[in-house]
């Protein structure tokens, strides 16, 4: 399959949007504007952008605590995301969910999740709904390398396989849980082999190659719908920042971080590839400027928007 030029520009734009969104949050946090911590996905833009852009609006995703990229990838409005992190009424969750729990149901994002592996079984249930409703859509379940050791991961894969559910399990293996390297946490051959052990076709890909992610997800989506079988992708990537804002990166070396930043950065690599294929620097710069303006406008608007009013929270706990 070859990716069209329009899609290529979209992929670049989405990665830039995610990168600058996260960097803007970093700056706002440094200025003391944000309450609570954040789990930034800087360095992992290709998995979110490549996977989400390969889906339709009616395909669903479930996301993780490191989910800003997934949310943007599925079409979220950065203004409403900034507003959510700032506790504003216009936030996706009216300020009640925050960074780890942003959901955007209108765009098919069933939500980020603060529990590692918390959304695997939820994605199975959503896929069951699609099966019962005879829909031609899939559920893409994002999770990290930390999740593959939780019991719910195994229960979810087992059941999706037994019941032929339309789930695409996508592991963003950034090689560290919080501080534990995945090689110390994951027994067995590889994360992808765990999918195979449940009878689910599984592949391992370079998660920092955005077109590889895009093509794998597109292909697997078609196969899920035509074969009525779930699928599994392990996308190898890397996060530049600590797990959260309290992480001092004692568990890895700056050499390792710099290697991934300099040699394997998904955005740099893709720019190189696009330029080789004839896309001009001017095209790319235009996109970058538009994204910067979108971010700046969104942040300013969010800062100026009203706080979520104090309501009866006990009543709000119930529908």
Partner 1 sequence: MPELSVGQAINNALSLILKEYPNAFIAGEDIGIYGGAFGVTDGLLETFGEERIKDTPIAEDVIAGLAVGAAMTDSKPIVEMQFSDFIVNAMDPIVNQAAKLHFMYGGAVNVPIVVRGASGAGTGAAAQHSQSLESWFCHVPGLKVVTPSNPQNAYDLLLHSFVDPNPVIFMEHKLIYKIKDDVVLNNIPSNSELLGQAKILSEGNDITIVSYSNMVNVVKDAISSDELSEISAELIDLQTLSPLDMQTIITSVSKTKKLLVCQEAPANSSVGSTVISNVVQSDAFSSLSIAPKLVSGLHSPMPSAKHLETTVIPQKEDIMQAIKDMV
Partner 2 sequence: MAKENILLPAMSDQMSEAELLSWKVSIGDKVNKGDVLCEISTDKVDMDLESPYSGEIINLIANEGDMINVGEPVAEIETEEDSLLGSIFD
Contacts to partner 2 by CB under 8 A? 20, 23-24, 27-32, 35-37, 245-246, 248, 292, 295-296, 299-300, 303
CB 78 within 8 A of CB 31: no
The nearest distance, CB 38 to partner 2, in angstroms, is 9
Q: Are strands 60-62 and 167-173 parallel, antiparallel or unpaired?
A: unpaired
> Rounded CA gap, 221 and 22, in Å?
28
Which two three-digit tokens encode residue 147?
Answer: 């999740």
Nearer to partner 1, 163 or 240 (CB): 163
Choose from partner 1, partner 2, none: what does 32 bind? Cβ within 5-8 Å by kind.
partner 2
Which two three-digit tokens encode residue 85?
Answer: 């992190």
Q: Which of 5, 27, 56, 129 binds partner 1 (CB under 8 A)?
A: 129
The nearest distance, CB 177 to partner 1, in angstroms, is 17
Its sign, for the CA torsion 174, 95, 19, 254, is negative
Task: Please tell me the count of residues contacting partner 1 according to CB under 8 A.
Answer: 47
CB 300 within 8 A of CB 86: no
Nearer to partner 2, 135 or 301 (CB): 301
Q: Which of 33, 115, 181, 275 binds partner 1 (CB under 8 A)?
A: 115
Across-strand partners of 195? Answer: none
3-state SS, residue 16: helix
Under the binding rule (CB under 8 A), the answer on residue 83 touching partner 1 is: no
The nearest distance, CB 318 to partner 1, in angstroms, is 5
The nearest distance, CB 155 to partner 1, in angstroms, is 4
CB 12 within 8 A of CB 281: no
Interface mask (CB under 8 A) for partner 1, residues 52-81, using x and -? --------x-x-------------------
CB 174 within 8 A of CB 238: yes
The nearest distance, CB 315 to partner 1, in angstroms, is 10
Give the phi and the psi of residue 61 in degrees, each rounded to 5.
Answer: -125, 150
Q: Hey, which residues between 143 and 162 contact partner 1 (CB under 8 A)?
A: 151-152, 155-156, 158-159, 162
> Rounded CA gap, 159 and 156, in Å?
5
The nearest distance, CB 255 to partner 2, in angstroms, is 13
Per DSSP, the residues of 73-130 read HTT--HHHHHHHHTTBTTSTTTTSS-GGG--BGGGTB----SSTTTTHHHHHHHHHHH
Region for residue 289 given its phi and psi (left: phi exceeds 0; alpha: psi -120 to 50; beta: otherwise): alpha
- Near partner 1 by CB under 8 A, which window of 48-56, 105-113, 221-229, 256-264? 105-113
Edge-to-edge strands of the sheet including 139-144?
60-62, 139-144, 167-173, 231-236, 201-206
Choose from partner 1, partner 2, none: what does 58 bind? Cβ within 5-8 Å by kind.
none
Nearer to partner 2, 154 or 292 (CB): 292
Rg (CA), the chain: 19
Under the binding rule (CB under 8 A), the answer on residue 168 touching partner 1 is: no
Choose from partner 1, partner 2, none: what does 305 bind? Cβ within 5-8 Å by kind.
none
Q: Which residues bind partner 1 (CB under 8 A)?
A: 60, 62, 91-97, 101, 103, 105, 110-111, 113-115, 118, 120-130, 132-133, 139, 151-152, 155-156, 158-159, 162-163, 308, 313-314, 316-319
């Amino acid at each position: 399959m070859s990716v069209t030029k329009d899609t290529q520009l979209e992929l670049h734009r989405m990665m830039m949007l995610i990168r600058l969104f996260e960097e803007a949050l970093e700056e706002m946090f440094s200025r003391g504007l944000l309450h609570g911590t954040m789990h930034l996905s800087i360095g992992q833009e290709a998995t979110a952008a490549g996977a989400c852009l390969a889906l339709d609006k009616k395909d669903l995703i479930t996301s993780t605590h490191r989910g800003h990229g997934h949310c943007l990838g599925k079409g979220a409005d950065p203004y409403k995301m900034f507003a959510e992190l700032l506790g504003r009424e216009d936030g996706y969750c009216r300020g009640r969910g925050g960074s780890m729990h942003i959901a955007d149901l209108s765009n098919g994002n069933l939500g980020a999740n603060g529990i590692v592996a918390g959304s695997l079984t939820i994605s199975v249930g959503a896929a069951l709904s699609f099966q019962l409703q005879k829909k031609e859509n899939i559920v893409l379940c994002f999770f990290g390398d930390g999740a593959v050791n939780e019991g719910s991961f195994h229960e979810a894969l087992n059941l999706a396989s037994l019941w032929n559910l339309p789930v695409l399990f996508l592991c963003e293996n950034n090689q560290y849980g919080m501080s534990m390297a995945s090689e110390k946490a994951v027994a067995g051959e590889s994360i992808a082999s765990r999918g195979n052990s449940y009878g689910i076709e599984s592949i391992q890909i370079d998660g920092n190659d955005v077109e590889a992610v895009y093509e794998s997800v597109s292909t697997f989506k078609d196969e899920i719908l035509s074969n009525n079988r779930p699928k599994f992708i392990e996308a190898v990537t890397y996060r530049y920042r600590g797990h959260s804002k309290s992480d001092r990166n004692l568990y890895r070396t700056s050499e390792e971080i710099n290697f991934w930043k300099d040699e394997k950065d998904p955005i740099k690599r893709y720019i190189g590839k696009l330029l080789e294929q004839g896309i001009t620097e001017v095209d790319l710069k235009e996109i970058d400027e538009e994204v910067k303006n979108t971010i700046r406008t969104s942040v300013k608007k969010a800062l100026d928007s009203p706080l979520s009013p104090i309501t009866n929270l006990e009543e709000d706990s119930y529908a």
